[in-house]
Amino acid sequence: MTARRRGVRGFDGSALRATRELRHMTAEELGRSVGIQASLISAYEEGRRIPEWRTLAALATALTTHVDQLRPGHATTMEDLRCAAGQGQDAAGLTAGLGRSGYAMLENGHTRTLKPDVAEKLARAWGVEVNEVCQAHAAAVQAAGAPAPVLEGAVLAGLAAHFGITPVALLGIARGLQDQTERRSS
């Protein structure tokens, strides 16, 4: 049997087993404490199944640990926080006072600035601390990397010549438009 595609990205079943064993719990005891069968705990630990966010949060609570302990090497993202709260991008956009696409840009790190009032609204809706939202956004920005160059090389020279302006002037216009777009979506 192969692992399901749905579930928490980065979940590590061996980390679940190690944490459970460190707490001297059996699969049956852990299952009882979160309201699932021991066979499902075994399936998670063996990588045959991947828990959904609510289940992972319940497992972490029962094991007195943080969900990130059960997904080593994976920083918590805004998507993780949103999904853990059971919210879709449309609802998160409404919560934040943004449209769905504006929120998606924020979640994916393409909007590089997270306004404090937006972070507070999302934290309240998701039941987390504001700093968790800010850290998740910072991770998204880092993962997104530097913005792709708008124009360069022969394309820049050709467009500048077409519009009868210098390449430096065209880059200035493009950067100004990019800044306006980022301000509007954040």
- Tens-place pLDDT, residues 139-182: 888 887 766 555 667 777 888 899 999 888 887 888 778 777 76
C-alpha span between 81 and 123 (Å, rounded):
9
Say yes or no: domain 13-70 is CATH 3.10.20.600: no
Find, among 37, 40, 47, 39, the residue nearest to 15 by Cα: 47
What residues contact 169, with CB distance under 8 A and at least 6 apart? Answer: 160
What residues contact 7, with CB distance under 8 A and at least 6 apart? Answer: 49, 50, 51, 52
What is the structure's pLDDT at 1? 40
CA 109 centroid distance within chain = 9
What is the structure's pLDDT at 2? 42
pLDDT surpassing 60 at residue 26: yes
C-alpha span between 1 and 48 (Å, rounded):
6
CATH code, residues 78-144: 1.10.260.40
Both tokens of residue 49?
């199944």
C-alpha span between 52 and 9 (Å, rounded):
9
Both tokens of residue 4?
């399901």
C-alpha span between 177 and 170 (Å, rounded):
11
Cβ contact 108:140 at 8 Å: yes
pLDDT tens digits, one per residue of 110-139: 888 899 999 999 999 999 899 999 999 998
pTM for the full predicted model: 0.61
- pLDDT higher at 34 or 160: 34
What is the structure's pLDDT at 170? 83
